[in-house]
C-alpha cells in the first residue's frame, strides 16, 4: 500500500504570510536574501538574548541548513521511488534556490515564494518537520531560564530579533496563545502557532491577525 503524502494548496493568504516571513528573514532589507542574512540573524539572536554558544549554534544550524536538510531528504525519497519526493520536474524552483544559496548567491522574494509553493504542494511534511525544529530552537533561545515555558516578556524581547518591536501587540498575541490563562506557554503550543502561520488559512489565528496588518 502506497503511503499518502499530505500537501497544501498555496492560497493567496498563505502567499501573503510567506512574503511576510521572507521579509522577517531579510535582515539587511535589500530585497534579496542569502546565507549571510541567516548568519546575521543568528548573531542578532546571540546578541539580543545573550545566548550561550550552544543555543546560538542550534539556531545557526537550522537557519543555515534547513533548506539543505529538507531538499536532501526529498531527493532521497525520489531516488527510493517513494511518494512526496523532490525532483527537477516537480520542484525546479526549490532546487535552484537551494543551489543558489549554497553557492553564496541571493534569492529574491518571488524566487523564495515559488520554491516554497512547489515544496508544500508536493510534500508538506518535508517543510513542516524542518520548520518545527527551527522554530523550536527559537523557543529554546527565548526560554532563558530553561523551564520549558515562555511568557509575554520573553516573546517581546525575542521577536525583536525579527524586527518585530511592538510590545503591546506581542502581548495581545501571547494572550490569545495562552488559552489556559497560565501566563506562560510551552514549546508545543508556540511551534503549532507558527506552523499555522506558514501552512494554515485561519485569518483569525493569533500571529496572522497581527502580522498581516503590519
Q: What pLDDT digit, counting tens, does each position of 19-45 carry? A: 999 998 888 888 999 998 999 889 989
Q: What is the DSSP string of 118-148?
A: HHHHH-HHHHHHHHHHHHHHHHHHH-TT-SS
Topology (CATH) of 12-211: Recoverin; domain 1 (1.10.238)
Domain range annotation of the chain: 12-211
In the predicted structure, residue 171 carries a pLDDT above the cut 90:
yes
Q: Which uninterrupted H or E stretch holds 181?
A: none
d(CA 85, CA 2): 13
In the predicted structure, residue 2 carries a pLDDT above the cut 70:
no
The model's pTM: 0.93
Q: What pLDDT digit, counting tens, does each position of 52-81 carry? A: 988 989 999 999 999 999 999 999 999 999
What does pLDDT average to over the chain? 94
Beta strands in the chain (DSSP E): 32-33, 107-108, 149-150, 185-186
Mean pLDDT of 151-162: 95
Instruction: Provide the grid cell at 110.
Output: 518571488
Secondary structure tally for the chain: helices H, strands E:
10, 4
Closest CA to 86 of 21, 44, 53, 130: 130
In the predicted structure, residue 1 carries a pLDDT above the cut 50:
no
Closest CA to 41 of 28, 51, 54: 28
Amino acid at each position: 500500500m502506497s503511503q499518502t503524502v499530505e500537501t497544501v494548496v498555496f492560497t493567496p493568504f498563505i502567499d501573503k504570510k510567506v512574503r511576510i516571513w521572507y521579509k522577517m528573514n531579510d535582515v539587511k532589507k535589500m530585497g534579496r536574501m542569502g546565507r549571510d542574512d541567516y548568519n546575521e540573524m543568528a548573531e542578532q539572536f546571540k546578541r539580543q538574548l545573550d545566548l550561550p554558544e550552544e543555543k546560538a549554534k542550534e539556531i545557526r544550524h537550522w537557519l543555515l541548513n534547513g533548506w539543505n536538510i529538507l531538499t536532501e531528504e526529498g531527493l532521497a525519497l525520489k531516488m527510493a521511488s517513494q511518494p512526496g519526493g523532490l525532483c527537477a520536474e516537480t520542484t525546479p524552483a526549490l532546487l535552484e534556490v537551494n543551489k543558489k544559496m549554497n553557492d553564496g548567491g541571493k534569492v529574491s522574494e518571488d524566487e523564495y515564494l515559488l520554491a516554497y509553493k512547489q515544496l508544500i504542494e508536493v510534500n508538506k511534511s518535508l517543510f513542516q518537520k524542518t520548520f518545527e525544529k527551527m522554530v523550536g530552537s527559537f523557543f529554546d533561545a527565548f526560554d532563558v531560564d530553561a523551564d520549558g515555558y515562555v511568557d509575554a516578556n520573553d516573546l517581546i524581547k525575542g521577536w525583536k530579533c525579527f524586527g518585530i518591536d511592538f510590545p503591546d501587540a506581542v502581548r495581545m498575541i501571547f494572550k490569545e496563545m495562552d488559552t489556559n490563562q497560565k501566563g506562560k506557554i510551552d514549546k508545543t503550543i508556540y511551534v503549532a502557532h507558527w506552523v499555522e502561520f506558514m501552512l494554515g488559512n485561519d485569518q483569525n489565528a493569533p500571529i496572522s491577525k497581527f502580522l498581516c496588518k503590519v
